[in-house]
Structure formats: structure tokens, C-alpha cells
Chain A
């Protein structure tokens, strides 16, 4: 069965420092991977996706994610964190059998001034 894991419930980082939010996946076949962000009192918003091609995917708000097939990972990164990046981040993978997305449990990112 398709699945994603977000091993960290919370990530703390100082403003201006690089950030990484981790995601690993388990799929049969080539994965379709997504990152979403949820700001307080808002719905989930699409950040970026990997379908095929370049392993480094660039998305909204300066975020990028690196697809690593050998490590079955799709970590979200940003070179310099902002306080406004503080939010809940979800990784998701497409389930080919049902054509729906399987979401991870979410990682809360806290950026301190």
C-alpha cells in the first residue's frame, strides 16, 4: 500500500537559517509526491509537486523539495526561513490504485525571530 511518513511532529528553526522538513514514502512504481502548507485557520495550500524530471522541485514562497529515489525521500527545504513560514506542513503521495492522495501526519514548523 502507498504511504508517506513525516518523522518529526515539530521542527524549530531560527529565522534566517535553512530549514528542512522530512518526508519518506513507500509506493509501488514511480511516485507522485506533493507538499502542502496549512496556515492557522486556513485550508491546506499546494506548495509543490514531483511527477517526473529534475529531482529538485521549486515551489511557492521560496520552498523547494528534493526527490531522492534511493532513500525514498522527498524533503522540503528552504535556504533562509522566515517567521511567516511557521505553519503545518503535509507531505502526500498519490495512491495509483484509488487515484487519491495519501497525506502524512503533518509537521509543525516553528520559526523563531
Chain B
């Protein structure tokens, strides 16, 4: 099992550009979560999916952020247009049920200059 796979590991982009982060969850996991981590705000849940359907996107900071899960093996988090304050580490996690805990990916470190 390769675990939760995120790409890219690092992304540096200019303000105003579109950024797409990708996640491949563990096969058989029904839940997928997107988190953002910064020094100031800690770990924040942005959105989560159950069986590819978005359940709660109340943590998405603004309309510039969008997330999709077209199938059980792939999800994207898109920021358009990006701003310097979006600089953070973005994590994807998946699980079968919360009972089992989550498995996190290694994260994408986003820097917007």
C-alpha cells in the first residue's frame, strides 16, 4: 500500500496564477479530507468528501478555492487566483470511517510570491 499520495510536494507560483493540488487516496477508503496547515492558524479542515460527494465545505476560505473528486481514486484542490496568504502546507487524508483514524499524505508546500 503506497499510502495517500499527494503531488506536487512543493509548488512555487506567482500571485494571480492558478494552482492545482492533487491527491490519490488509499484504495477502499470512502472519506477524503483536505487540510491546510500554517503556523498562525494551525491545522484547518477545508473540505471533506464521502463516496466522492462533498459533505462539508464550510472550511473553504473563499470562492477562490474549489475541490473536486471525480472518482474514488483522485481529488483536486484548486486555487484561482492564488494570493500570498494562501502560502501553506496542504494535506490530503483518507479513511474508511473515523473509527479507524485517518491516513495523511506527505503534503504539498505551496508558496505564492
Contacts and interface: CB of A to CB of B under 8 A. Distances in A.
Contacts of A14: none
21 contacts: A34-B101, A36-B104, A42-B106, A43-B4, A44-B91, A44-B102, A44-B104, A46-B102, A46-B103, A51-B99, A90-B43, A94-B98, A94-B99, A95-B98, A100-B31, A100-B33, A101-B101, A105-B42, A105-B43, A106-B42, A106-B43
A72 interface: no
Contact of A100 (B43, B91, B98): B98
Contacts of A106: 42-43
Interface of B: 4, 31, 33, 42-43, 45, 48, 55-56, 91, 93, 97-99, 101-107, 109
Contacts of A49: 101
Contacts of B106: 42-43
Interface of A: 32, 34, 36, 41-46, 49, 51, 90, 94-95, 98-101, 103, 105-106
B interface, over-half SS: strand
Given A32-B98, A32-B99, A43 B42 contact: no
A43 B105 contact: yes
B101 A46 contact: yes
Contacts of A43: 4, 91, 93, 104-107
Given A101-B101, A101-B102, 18 more contacts: A36-B104, A41-B109, A43-B93, A43-B104, A43-B105, A43-B106, A43-B107, A44-B93, A44-B104, A46-B103, A49-B101, A95-B98, A98-B55, A98-B56, A99-B98, A100-B31, A103-B43, A105-B42
Contacts of A32: 98-99
